[in-house]
Amino acid sequence: MSVENLTLAEIETLAKQTLLAGGCDENNAAAIADTVTRAERDGSTSHGLFRLPGYVKSMRSGKVDGKATPVIDNKMAAIVAVDGQGGYAPYTLQCALPVLAKAAQNTGIAVMRLHNSYHFAALWPEVEYLAEQNLVGLACTCFKPSVAPAGTSTAFFGTNPLAFAWPRPDKTPVVFDMATSRLAKGDVMLAAREGHDLPDGTGLGPDGQPSNDPHEVLKGVLLPFGGYKGSAISMMVELLSSALTGDQFSYEAEAQDNNDGGPARGGELIIAMSPDLIVGDGWRAHSEGFIAELSSLEGVRLPGERRHKNRQDTGTRAINSALLETIRGLSG
Ligand code: NDP
């Protein structure tokens, strides 16, 4: 695979220029470029520059408003209702997360219902932000169907990610952020592009039979992680991020989406909890003791550690040359 080495500043500039040329205003271009750059910085490459062509396609098709400004309603103390006004999630989240954090710091627990928005990124930025405010964060969203619920070979769930962050004093938080499919679809697409086989249990081909070929699985269906247990968690994500936000389930998103290569409209549910208010003094020492015990076990590493380690490397990132050519063609 041919690659080009770009600094993080070059990645951010390229992303921002491409988004401005594609139809974003300054606020949205800056917020998305920041999200994309942080993904490349942390090694979350399936949600970095790889997503830019999709962002631009969805503005050019007229589906997403790259100039949207969210409307935020926090009239009820523990509920932050956010209308994304048909825009992308990063700028909306940049505006709304501080409101959610404040609400949770006042009430102990607060929930954000984000609807009328297009999420095309990883979820760890939102839960990490909350943990940095000494809050526990939980977030989920759903997408168009590509995952077969346990027992069938018909796609019905999205890859439906779930993310969680726990705050730590003077340390990066413990964070997991995972698709509820065996592999995220972006990783299957990357495997197809780079010619890798998929691990067992990733998906079924169009004939309904298990396959390790990413091209076959992209024509067929993905499977949930952990059989019926992952399937139940994916169902929960559908209910929380759609029924509880008032936005579309994955199957409804598919019926409405124009398949332009970008994200479908959907909801995101984010819960913020304040351990200071819920449990009071001593929570930090208690949870730090648990984390120390867990980390001391042979072979264990904390979720989030890989990304946070990558983050310390401030050098260049190797970016696929063909992807860069596509992106430069877009901003052309
Ligand atoms: P991974 O399977 O790579 O990782 C899932 C989580 O497990 C991460 O927090 C990771 O931490 C942790 N982890 C991985 N290996 C270990 C290990 N050996 N020990 C302990 N923890 C470990 O992520 P996915 O492929 O499932 O998801 C990728 C991304 O896709 C997510 O960010 C998700 O939000 C995004 N996504 C977004 C969608 C959308 O609609 N917006 C749809 C679906 C997915 P670490 O990062 O440190 O490796």
Cβ pair 328, 16 in contact under 8 A: no
Per residue in 293-313, pLDDT tens? Answer: 999 999 999 999 999 999 999
Q: Is the pLDDT of residue 123 over 90?
A: yes
**Closest CA to ligand 1's atom 22:** 303
Tokens representing 73 are 């309603």
Ligand 1: nearest atom to the Cα of 158 = 42
Fold of 182-223: Wheat Germ Agglutinin (Isolectin 2); domain 1 (3.30.60)
What is the torsional sign of CA 254, 64, 317, 172? negative
Please report the atom of ligand 1 found closest to the CA of residue 159: 43
Residue 73 falls in the annotated catalytic set: no
Query: What is the chain's mean pLDDT, rounded?
Result: 96
Q: What pLDDT score was predicted for residue 193?
A: 86
How many CB atoms are closer than 10 A to CB 37? 22
Q: Give this prediction's pTM.
A: 0.96
- CA–centroid distance, residue 122 to ligand 1 (Å): 8
Strands 3-6 and 317-320: antiparallel
- Testing ligand 1's pocket by substitution, the residue of 44, 93, 124, 176 carrying the most ligand atoms inside 8 A of its CB is 176
Task: Identify whether the C-beta of residue 88 lies closer than 8 Å to the C-beta of residue 118.
Answer: yes
Q: Which fold has domain 3-181+224-304+321-331?
A: Ribosomal Protein S8; Chain: A, domain 1 (3.30.1370)
Tens of pLDDT, residue by residue over 218-242, are 999 999 999 999 999 999 999 999 9
pLDDT confidence bin for 332, thresholds 50/70/90:
low
Higher pLDDT, 46 or 162: 162
Map out the domains of the chain as residue ranges. 3-181+224-304+321-331, 182-223
| Cβ atoms of residues 304 and 176 within 8 Å | yes
Predicted pLDDT of residue 1: 77
Residue 27, pLDDT > 70, answer yes
Of the two residues 117 and 184, the one the predictor is more confident about is 117
Under a CB-based contact definition with an 8 Å cutoff, are residues 89 and 119 in contact?
A: yes
Name the residue of 64, 124, 128, 177 to mutate for ligand 1: max ligand atoms within 8 A of Cβ: 177
pLDDT, one tens digit per residue, over 283-295 is 999 999 999 999 9
